[in-house]
Structure 1
Amino acid sequence: MTLTAPPTAAAVNRLTADDDLFLKLHSLYGNALVNQLAWRFDEPLGHALLDRFHAQLAHGFLARRVHRTRIPFARPYWVPATDALPLGWDTIPVADDEILDWYFAQSRVDFDPDTGRVWRLSAAPTTCGGTLVSLVTSHVASDGGAVLFAVGDALTRLRDGEQPDRTTGSGRLVGVAPRDAVRADLTDAGSQLRAVAHGIRGAFAARKVTEPDRTPRPDDPRLPSPPRWSPADLVVQLDHDEWNAAAATHSGTANGLLIALGAGLLGRSGRVGESADIRVDIPHSMRTPDDPRANATTGLPISVPYRQGKRVDLTGVRAAVKNAALAYRDPATTPALQHLQPAQMILPRWVLHRFARTAKAPECLCTNLGETAQGVADIAGHRACAVLMRPVVCTGETELFRRVEVGVNLSLCTDGHTITLAVTGADPDRFPTRAALRALLTTELTSWDLTPHYW
């Protein structure tokens, strides 16, 4: 669809180091990882309603594209997108046992950060008379916090009957091109070079700061697999009170229980052996009110001891999370690589591609969104029976999954009554099928006295 061009806005919004990294990874791997916000309704939603929702999104915070610069070392910047992928509307009802497959199928989309085609809204009826809705977004242009902010603004405007408008909605924060692009880019190039120098000094000062090590991925077993493979994914619902009781019984927190489940699941798969220290990465939002950044999330890595036949120690997890959060607040205890982000941005793409080919994916990623997704559970008076936000590891080359050593991803949302947990097993030799993942996850949940209800 074609949209009207936006009026002049206030500020230039340069890509951050995280935006730049995701952009470079997109050029290398395409849409290997996307974010998905999913709604499940017990009632039908009309095409016209979702068209209006789509129009609000198309003029909001997600509607942005990358404008590249010609001045060496100057950062690209975001400008409003004037193009968007159309609303996807499936007419064939989805059966209960096909819901997970339908949501995963929505990840099969080609995003293009240069044109602004970086999100896609789609919907389908269910055989029970309800509606499934999916919003899939490129990580180049938005992290989870950006998606929730953009959707929250769009739904508020939809509820209030406001017309789509960049100047009064969240789209006003995207930014525009500078009036004198050459002068602005030269200024930014100078700032970037100073940032590089400052970062190198910071990295040298923090050269002895270390992060938890990854657990090496064993070469065996190597299961027979097709050349391309879709990671195993599950969505499970659990009682909120039961979850909190399990955490309290073992002297932990609700967040710590999520981390323990991730480590326990990876351990049960045989990925790390009978005894190991598993590195768990925990996304932590740095987003502030009216924050224009596409990506404003940092990762807190912790080490979680796993011992076969034993539950993960929740008191140890709590202490590790607290220590990691404190460490990342102080530049002196921030790992050297974090200080080098400005240098990463000015390196030629071929250099980053060379590094990326040896880079590793998280072996265990645990995201706790709490009740934040409930702020977007209502679409024009229609309340979703479940809302889910998760990273989707898309279909890819089987050997790539082995090479980058990706493990498990867990993402949790709650409405205060029910926990909705999304789990992805992306190691083709430990989680070859959804059934294999489900068997391992059920055993792990049962060990914590948790009763799963699978989608």
Structure 2
Amino acid sequence: MHHGIGYPVYNQFLWWFDETVRRDDLENLRNNLSDGLLARRVVSSRVPTARARWVRSPVSHSLDFHSQFIDEADIPAWADGRLDPDIDPETGLGWRLAAAPVSNGGTVVSLVASHMVADGGALIEAVRAANNRSKQGRLAPDADGIAAIGSDLRDAAEQARSVAGWLVNAAADALPIPTRTEPDAVVPRSRPTRSRVPADAMDSDWVSPHAVAEVEAGAWTAAAQRWGGTSNSLFIAVLTAASGNAGRASIGDSVQWSLPVSDRTPADTRSNATKIVKIDVPVTDASDRDLTTIRSISKAAFTAFAVRQAEGQAPTGISQALVQMLPDAVVARVPQPRDGAEGLASNLGVLPEDFTTVAGVRARAVSGRATFAGADAAFARSLDGGLTAWVCETGSSVTVTVHAMDPDRFADEDVLREHLTEALARWELSARFW
């Protein structure tokens, strides 16, 4: 995940505190994080086809504390600067905590981790544990010698069984067996009608635009309720409207969103425990603000997902075990699959107080995001994706954090902000952009 697709994927949380957070308290937080779930390093297996495995890492980056003040307008650029290539799970330095004082008062704090080290849920749990030492979780002691080889052998056998089962199922699905029960007919999804691509695109200068729209929490909740939805359905509606505004779909089309779902359990030490649920959302006229359709579509998809999970059904698509067996150099050469999704809509919900608070100081707002560091226009086009977005809620604010992965319709941050502003205004919402 970190090197295999050509560009490392980082997760980042950004806390904006209106009050000052002392450096000593941040150092304490860093020390606690260094003793928890993020303290891991990936090591290669000694047995062919076995997956690389995690071991505890005794090292971590020091606190990246900026003594000079930064202006509010420079916070996004400062956040981008925290995505550093020396954050690498193979060295055991897979994450970094950083902070800077804000010129108008307060503090901004960043936590970046390789997506391989931690998904959004794992980062939240790591910070909560670091703020509550009694709940601190850790990896099991490292296996070495014969025990490590035995562990690799067992994993290799399990991987082989998984791939063999996938191949058998794929072959069986391809056979024209008359007695097989035919699946229910699926209504084909209308493919989005794209607007014309501008001829003067500046590919060499393009980087994925990034915007954080902060909305007052009470206004956000009231808008969702007024039009028959929830925070999640409003979030998806805003993204769908923004994609339509940008010309990635037309009225009457439907666009598909990938919705991450965590199956993380208490005391879970997995770095990633995220599954994907997909929904198709109709693109409607700007006068249509009804959220009940998206709400019912999402509920049906989550219910069906829960049933599949309970029945132990394997996910569709290529076997992940097979992909994990391939070397990074091979995976990097494999074209990234175009699954038809318009993008990712990750709803982290209302963040717990022991995540939004450091040493008694509560953040006004928290932004979360995942990003391909350094991705260029050609790579973005290969994904055929539009928007990758996270929504986070605190007591006072809701942040919609968006990356645009379409260089032809989201040329820069100004364009992205314009489309987000128009989409939010459809539900009578306004935003403060970071």
Say whether residues 1:27 and 2:9 are aligned partners. no
* The one of 209, 217, 242 aligned to 1:232: 209
Unaligned segments of structure 2, at least 5 residues: 175-182
Does residue 256 of structure 1 match 2:233? yes
1:74 corresponds in structure 2 to 50
Contact 1:65 1:115 (8 Å CA) reproduced: yes
The answer to which of 200-209 and 297-306 deviates more is 200-209
- Of 33, 39, 44, the match for 1:57: 33
Equivalence for 1:330: 308
What is the CA–CA distance in structure 1 between the aligned matches of 2:313 and 2:64, rounded to whole Å?
43
Q: Distance in 1 between matches of 2:63 and 2:273?
A: 27
Deviation digits for residues 127-174 of structure 1, max 9, x if unmatched? 1232111001110111001101111111223xx8xxxxxxx8322x35
Aligned to 1:453: 432
**SS of residue paired to 1:238:** strand
Paired position in structure 2 for 1:182 = 149
The farther-off stretch of 380-389 and 326-335 is: 326-335
Secondary structure (helix, strand or coil) at the match of 1:439 reads helix
Cα separation, 1, equivalents of 2:90 and 2:170: 32
Q: 2:259 aligns with which of 275, 282, 285?
A: 282
On the 8 A contact 1:302/1:320 being kept in 2, the answer is yes
Partner Cα distance (1:373, 1:421) in 2: 17
What's the offset of the Cα at 1:390?
2.0
Q: Which stretch has the larger CA shift, 352-361 or 391-400?
A: 352-361
Q: How far is the alpha carbon of 1:344 from its aligned partner? A: 2.7
1:4 maps to which residue?
A: none
Instruction: Quickly say closer, same or farther: Cα 1:338–1:296, change in 2 above 3 A.
Output: farther
CA distance in 1, matches of 2:121, 2:76: 24
Number of matched residues?
421
Deviation at 1:409, TM superposition (A): 2.0
> Which of 302, 314, 321 is the matching residue for 1:342?
321
Counterpart of 1:367, as a letter, is: S
Are the aligned partners of 1:178 and 1:184 in contact in 2 as well (CA < 8 Å)? no
Three-state SS of the structure 1 residue aligned to 2:283 is strand
- After superposition, the Cα gap between the structure-2 partners of 1:95 and 1:361, relative to the gap in structure 1 and judged at 3 Å, is farther
| 1:320 matches 2:297 | yes
> Partner letter of residue 182 of structure 1?
I
Task: Give the SS at the match of 2:334.
Answer: helix
Matches within 5 A, 1:409-424: 409-424=388-403
Displacement of 1:40 after TM fit?
1.3
1:413-455 deviation per Cα after TM superposition (whole angstroms, max 9, x unaligned): 1123422222222322212122212221111111111122333
Aligned residue number for residue 93 of structure 2 = 117
Amino acid at match of 1:35: N
The 3-state SS of whatever aligns with 1:365 is strand
- Indicate which of 307, 313, 316 corresponds to 2:284: 307
**Secondary structure of the structure 2 residue equivalent to 1:152:** helix
With over 3 angstroms needed to count, the CA separation of the structure-2 counterparts of 1:37 and 1:361, relative to structure 1, is farther
Q: Deviations over 1:306-355 (max 9, x none)?
A: 13445365222122212222332326896763572223323454543343
- How far apart are 1:242 and its partner, in Å? 2.3
Q: TM-score, normalised by structure 2?
A: 0.87
| Residues in 1 aligned to 2:287 and 2:27: alpha-carbon distance in whole angstroms | 51
Cα RMSD (Å): 2.8
Q: Is the alpha carbon distance of 1:398 and 1:444 closer, same or farther for their aligned partners in structure 2, counting shifts above 3 Å?
A: same
* C-alpha distance after superposition, 1:273-325 (max 9, x if no partner): 34321011111111000111110001111101113445365222122212222
Distance 1:382 1:282 in 2: 31
Match of residue 297 from structure 1: 274
Deviation of 1:54 after TM superposition, in Å, equals 1.3
Query: In structure 2, do the counterparts of structure 1 residues 355 and 39 end up closer, same or farther at CA, with 3 Å as the change threshold?
Result: same
AA in 2 matched with 1:384? A
- Of stretches 95-104 and 385-394 in structure 1, the one that deviates more from structure 2 is 385-394
Structure 2 distance, partners of 1:301, 1:48, is 44
Q: Given that residues 62 and 142 in structure 1 are in contact (C-alpha distance below 8 angstroms), is that contact kept between their aligned partners in structure 2?
A: yes
Local SS of the residue matching 2:344: strand
Q: Give, as a single letter, the amino acid of the residue that structure 2 aligns with 1:451.
A: S
TM-score by length of 1: 0.84
Contact residue 82 and residue 110 of structure 2 kept, 8 A: yes
Q: What SS class does the counterpart of residue 27 from structure 1 fall into?
A: coil
Q: CA deviation at 1:69?
A: 0.8
- Matched residue, 2:63: 87
Aligned counterparts of 1:169 and 1:294: Cα–Cα separation in 2? 15
- Asked if residue 193 in structure 1 is aligned to residue 160 in structure 2, the reply is yes
Q: Which residue of 1 aligns with 2:137?
A: 170
* Match of residue 16 from structure 1: none
Q: Determine helix, strand or coil for the equivalent of 1:392.
A: strand
What is the CA distance between 1:263 and its match in structure 2?
0.8
Structure 1: gaps (5+ residues):
1-21, 161-167
Cα distance in 1 for partners of 2:65, 2:337 equals 39
What is the Cα deviation at residue 185 of structure 1? 1.9
